Structure formats: structure tokens, C-alpha cells
Amino acid sequence: MALVQSEGIVLKTHALGDTSRIVVAYTRDHGLVKLVAKGARRTPSRFGYSLEPLSRARFRFYHKPDRDLHLLSQAETLDPIGSRLGDLTRLAHAQAAIELIDRLVWGEEPHEELYDLLARTLGCAVEAPLAALPAVTIAFELQAASLLGYRPRLEACAGCGGPLSPRRLFSPARGGMLCDACGETGAGTIHLSADALAGLSLLVSRPLAEAGDYLEVRRAGEILRVVEAFMREHFQRFHGLRSLEVLRSLPDFEPSEDAPCPG
């Protein structure tokens, strides 16, 4: 058992007994960890805001390689992100980001690029214009999947590598766009609009913080549905993002098929 230190972002917490808490955090150096914070539910807590979901903190804990739970020694708040959101829309997009990591990441395998992408996404949830947040969330989904080895193929046929069909056929199961021949045999193929394909191509590759600037994302609802169909095919624990259901219930979240959408 070694006392280790790592920066991390709190994904969720669970009550443990009468006074303690289990904290699930995604850390830069140890991947996904579950920390036992003794006395964390007492008032006042010696851990302050550091154990709240969405907080970025520096954790010191006793790491046991053969155990699922590790004893938290200290936690220092670096950024109380949840307290800086101040808006239902911002909160929903921030929660969607940590929910995605919780669904996609397994175990204590560090991935610094993915951690940094999550941190940048939460920064955007706080600071980006509200109209840019749908683009930021979609870009995060695409880029997180890419870092984990599931980048959608958009420049050539995902089935045979040939030229793309002018009908813009996307196959979630095959992982990208198809040619006419492969499209004839592919079940569950989606016909994309020209705007949706352009949006996917840019969101998967451009800097996250510019998601709402470099592209007027048209048909955001269409793009989101395509991305989530792709994620369901390739990540067993992904079943959509519940955090976005709050936004989908609002009349102005789902754009019309013909009008430019926010971002």
C-alpha cells in the first residue's frame, strides 16, 4: 500500500454508513478510482467542496493495487466547477461530460489526454457562450470516443475504404460513412444531411474550445442522434446521456430540421 497523489475530477459519490462517503473520481495518473472518504458526511466536513461532483481536486490516498476501494487521506479543491456553473443548461452539459466518462472508462488505467479533454470540456461548460454548448458536448463525445480507439471514419468508406456514396450513408455499426455498394448491405444505415456530415467532420477534429466558433452547427439534433447511435454500437455501457434529457424537455433544445441550431 502506497500513499499516492493525483489530480482528479469527481464523477459521483455514494453514502457509506452514517458518516462516510465513496467518491468516484477520474484522475490524471490512476484513471478511474473509488475513494473511501471517512467522515465526509459530517458537518462541517474536513474535505470542504473537494468531494462534490464536478469538482477538480488534488487527492492523496492509500493505493492498494489489488483492491477496488482506496482510503482517501487528503483532498484539496483546485476548481469548484459545479459552484461556478450557475445555469441549468451549463449544469446539464457539464453533467453530461462526467456521465460519459463514467460510461466509457473502465478501471484504473490512466489516460492523460482523455483527462485533459474532460477538464477542457468542463471549462467550456463554465465559460463558453450558451449557444456553443451543444457543439461542445457533441465534440466531446466524438473526441473522447476517438481517444479510446473508436474514431468514426468520415473521409472514406468504413467498409472497404472506397469513395463515399453521394447519398451520405453513415453506419453506426461499421463505424463511419459508406460507399454505395457497402450501403446496400448495411442494416441500420443513416442518411445524413450535408450539414450534419460537415458538422461531424469538424467536431471530431477541431479544438474543443472553438466548437461554437468555427462552425455554425446546423441540425444539431440530427448530429446528436447520429453520434449517440454510434456510441451505443461501440461502447457496451453507453445508453445515451440522461443528463441531456432535462434539456430535451425544453421546447427550444431540439432544433427544427430546416433551421440553424444554436452554436
Question: Do 8 and 25 meet the contact criterion of CB atoms below 8 Å apart?
Answer: yes
Tell me which residue of 26, 20, 27, 77 sits closest to 48, measured CA to CA: 77
Domains 2-82 and 85-248 share a fold: no
Distance CA 260, CA 186 (A): 30
pLDDT in the model for residue 34: 97
pLDDT in the model for residue 106: 83
pLDDT in the model for residue 173: 95
Quick one: how far is CA 98 from the chain centroid? Answer: 6
Q: What's the CATH class of domain 85-248? A: mainly alpha
DSSP 214-247: S---BSHHHHHHHHHHHHHHH-TT----GGGHHH
Distance CA 207, CA 214 (A): 9
Q: Which amino acid is at 43?
A: T
Instruction: Name the stretches of the chain with pLDDT < 70.
Output: 186, 213-218, 246-263
pLDDT in the model for residue 107: 82
**Is 24 in a helix, a strand, or coil?**
strand
CATH number of 2-82: 2.40.50.140
pLDDT in the model for residue 259: 34
pLDDT in the model for residue 115: 98
Write down the domain spans for the chain: 2-82, 85-248
